[in-house]
Structure 1
Amino acid sequence: MNYDSRIDAPIAADSDSDENPLLAGGDEDRASRRRLWIIGAVVVALLVAVWFFTHRGAAGDAEQKVDKGPVVSVVTPGRTTIAGTINATGTLFARRELPVGVPGEGGQIVSVLVEPGQWVGAGQVLAVIDRSVQVQQQASQSAQIQVARANAQLAQANLDRALKLVERGFVSTADIDRLTAQRDAAAAQVRVASATLGVLQAQTRRLNIVAPAAGLVLERRVEPGQVVSGGSGVLFRLAKDGEMELRAQLGELDLAGLRAGISAEVVPAGMDKAFSGQIWQLAPVIDPTSRQGIARIALAYSPELRPGGFATATITSGTIVAPLLPESAILSDEKGSFVYIVDKENKARRRAVKTGIVTGDGVAVVEGLTGNERVVLRAGGFLQPDETVQPRSATN
């Protein structure tokens, strides 16, 4: 037994010793595995946390976007003094064109005294027609007047002698009546001959083609040697006092807002110079096909204004104080024109409006807005009434 105790004692002592390699290796493996498990658990926990917070934030953002709605540009227009203008195009004409033709029987043109572009006075001779035949007719008629006057003098002398003899009883009363009638007939022949001469003289004067009024010669259609008559048509065209006009084509809605006396600026084609004028007449009739009418804009004479030329006009159509919005903000449907305004709850509300003057900066709203509302500028056609939106100022 003492031998067994001696043998077992060293073994027991060795089992508690740290120098036993088999026992020390097993403890290290177990510790390593525990550390790996702990690290893995921590990594998994971190991944789960990251996934949770990431998806939660995305879901929150999506929910936030749904709640706020689409982003829209808005503006508070206020009220502006708006000078309305209407742009139109048209053709230049003489305001009062005077066609001049042959007033009499006509004949062969002897001379033409004016050229296009020349100023003439009222009654000034434009062209002369040959009058050789008419001169001879006047001379003949003058001779006829002398003959009639001689007959009238002889009839008067016969009557005077008869009146002296009637008191002595040599001439009867019937003879006196006959001589008186002859005297009266001879006097009437003198007046007839004089009137005929006057007609011939008037006809001769009408062989001069004259200007009916003062103005500018626009066109000449006759040359010396040409034979003309009453059926020859227009030989000259004059612009009375040189005044011109632009006949501007306007839509019936624009025409309805105009009146005589409104000022306008006219620019002929190919020029930068503007000419001031004013509307003097509005067409009483609208073309049923084009739905347009004519505004006639009077212009003073200027050599740059040529009849038949093309020109543009800017017409002042009045001044109002109203909100001014771009065309993109104003929508329309079968119910009429409207805009979307954004209220305090950021809801898009439909508002019916009435538009007025159209300018290069926008459209005046004459009814429906005070100017203090937040109005959606663009993309209003994609909104629904009472839809939640995110308003953004257009000036930002």
Structure 2
Amino acid sequence: MPSALRSCALGSCAFVVAMLLAAPSFGQAPAGGPPSVGVVPARTKAVTETTEINGRVQAIGRVDLVARVSAWLQDQLFAEGAEVKQGDLLFRLEQPPFQADVEAKRAAVAQAEAQLELANLTLNRAEELLKTNAASRSTADNARAAQRTAAAQLRSAQAQLRQSEINLGYTEIRSPIDGRIGRIAITPGNVVGPSSGALATVVSQDPAYVVFPVSVTRLLQLRAQFSTQGGLEAMKIRLRLPDGRVYGETGQLKLQDVSVARDTDTIILRGTIANPPLRGGGHELTHDEMVRVILEGPTPRDILAIPRAAVLTDQQGSYIYVVDDKDVARQRRVKLGQSTAETAAVVDGLAEGERVIVEGVQRARPNAQVAPTPLAPTPAAAQMGEK
């Protein structure tokens, strides 16, 4: 390469390197100067306090459909997975044997009625003859006993007829609740009975239960936290679905179990939440589905909020860096309230208006000079006051 070109190329490279070194960069302090950091002021926001706990959706009603008499399973009258109403006919068992038994029992009732009618006539005749001394008292007593026996036999025959009619009714298996029916366990053509197990299961859909365990310690904290806002019963329940979406309906806490599980030291809480049908069919919530239960306070509370990125943690707990009026970084131990992944709620250790280091935290050192640059509030922090 000619020396002139070589000199030009070297000169260009030197110029580029010089420009790169001279270019400003946030977070890199000038040589010998304090490190640059981004700060935001601590502000009071109206925050709805929340707590997330693992839980499950449970159907309020769940019924196993079991044959109550032994018979041939004749018909399945539903589509698996379909919505059913209370009283819908779902299965039909073979009926002719039970119908024949009903007819036989009706005949037995008719026979018993005839026997009772004859016994009544005999008793009346014996009592009339006794008045004229044309019959002995023993004859009248025997007639009275025969009449009572015939009456008892009629009641027995009527009871047997009623039982036969009940058994005939058992050949039609109907849904006892509104809900969705699952897959069939035994297909038509098989002989079924009380020991055959569930033919299918119906679970109610709307509303649904949400069941979740809470440690006793956490329960006491929640009780104290919301004691002035109506207690636990005033808390709202929302659900985070397995795909991360927050369910659109809001529920209420309805039940606290009466005992604590010894192995986990937790107590079961249960809420009720609406589960309306979707436009395309079905329901959003499914029995036994795992969800994240979001417990929300009934009313927002004013609380100091800062970006979560500002909070550091060590063995002693949580701390932040604040910048004083002399641009010196001060380490500050803080106590956090109910926080989210984006926003930390500070309940102790910080005053409103103090400048908190959010960017460049790793470059800050306790009691060291910094070069603070104000940052715009994050969207999450800006929206907290709108909840």
TM-score, with normalisation over the residues of structure 2?
0.69
1:74 maps to: 39
Q: 1:76 to 1:167 in 2, by over 3 A?
A: closer
Residue 326 (structure 1) aligned with residue 307 (structure 2): yes
Mapping for residues 1-396 of structure 1, pairs under 5 Å: 65=32, 71-84=36-49, 94-102=59-67, 104-240=68-204, 242-243=206-207, 262-264=236-238, 269=243, 275-278=248-251, 280=253, 298=273, 299-302=275-278, 303=281, 305=284, 307=286, 315=294, 317-318=296-297, 319-378=300-359, 385=366, 387-395=367-375
Gaps of 5+ in 2: 1-30, 227-231, 377-387
Q: 1:374 to 1:250 in 2, by over 3 A?
A: same
Report the Cα distance in structure 2 between the residues aligned to 1:91 and 1:174, rounded to whole angstroms. 76
Report the Cα distance in structure 2 between the residues aligned to 1:295 and 1:187, rounded to whole angstroms. 55
Q: Determine helix, strand or coil for the equivalent of 1:79.
A: strand
Q: 1:311 to 1:144 in 2, by over 3 A?
A: closer
Q: Determine helix, strand or coil for the equivalent of 1:322.
A: strand
Q: Would you say the 8 A contact 1:121–1:215 is kept in 2?
A: yes
Q: 1:390 to 1:96 in 2, by over 3 A?
A: same
Percent of aligned positions that are identical: 23
Aligned residues: 328
Bigger fraction of residues in helix:
1
Superposed CA deviations along residues 201-236 of structure 1, whole A, max 9, x for unmatched, are 111111211111223333333432122111222222
Report the Cα distance in structure 1 between the residues aligned to 2:217 and 2:344, rounded to whole angstroms. 15
Q: Determine helix, strand or coil for the equivalent of 2:42.
A: coil
* Aligned-residue offset at 1:196: 0.8
Report the Cα distance in structure 2 between the residues aligned to 1:200 and 1:100, rounded to whole angstroms. 21
Superposed CA deviations along residues 248-278 of structure 1, whole A, max 9, x for unmatched, are 89999998759566253666759x8964343
Gaps of 5+ in 1: 1-63
What amino acid is aligned across from residue 200 of structure 1 in structure 2? S
Q: 1:317 to 1:381 in 2, by over 3 A?
A: farther
Report the Cα distance in structure 2 between the residues aligned to 1:309 and 1:241, rounded to whole angstroms. 12
* Aligned-residue offset at 1:198: 0.5
Report the Cα distance in structure 2 between the residues aligned to 1:273 and 1:349, rounded to whole angstroms. 39
Which structure has the larger Rg over C-alpha atoms?
1
Q: Would you say the 8 A contact 1:263–1:315 is kept in 2?
A: yes
Q: 1:72 to 1:124 in 2, by over 3 A?
A: closer
Report the Cα distance in structure 1 between the residues aligned to 2:267 and 2:117, rounded to whole angstroms. 74
Report the Cα distance in structure 1 between the residues aligned to 2:146 and 2:323, rounded to whole angstroms. 109
Report the Cα distance in structure 2 between the residues aligned to 1:288 and 1:229, rounded to whole angstroms. 39
Report the Cα distance in structure 2 between the residues aligned to 1:359 and 1:251, rounded to whole angstroms. 20
Report the Cα distance in structure 1 between the residues aligned to 2:309 and 2:288, rounded to whole angstroms. 36
Report the Cα distance in structure 2 between the residues aligned to 1:359 and 1:273, rounded to whole angstroms. 14
Report the Cα distance in structure 2 between the residues aligned to 1:196 and 1:167, rounded to whole angstroms. 39
* Aligned-residue offset at 1:352: 2.7
Superposed CA deviations along residues 325-382 of structure 1, whole A, max 9, x for unmatched, are 2233223334332223233344443333221232353211122222211223356567
Q: Would you say the 8 A contact 2:211–2:268 is kept in 1?
A: no
Q: Determine helix, strand or coil for the equivalent of 2:350.
A: coil
What amino acid is aligned across from residue 82 of structure 1 in structure 2? V
* Aligned-residue offset at 1:126: 0.8
**RMSD between aligned alpha carbons?**
4.0
Q: Determine helix, strand or coil for the equivalent of 1:194.
A: helix
Q: 1:277 to 1:238 in 2, by over 3 A?
A: farther
Report the Cα distance in structure 1 between the residues aligned to 2:288 and 2:127, rounded to whole angstroms. 80
Superposed CA deviations along residues 300-328 of structure 1, whole A, max 9, x for unmatched, are 22225373797876847343322222233
Report the Cα distance in structure 2 between the residues aligned to 1:296 and 1:74, rounded to whole angstroms. 42
Q: Determine helix, strand or coil for the equivalent of 1:237.
A: strand
1:43 maps to: none
Report the Cα distance in structure 1 between the residues aligned to 2:50 and 2:277, rounded to whole angstroms. 24
1:61 maps to: none
Q: Would you say the 8 A contact 2:59–2:205 is kept in 1?
A: no
Q: Would you say the 8 A contact 1:219–1:238 is kept in 2?
A: no
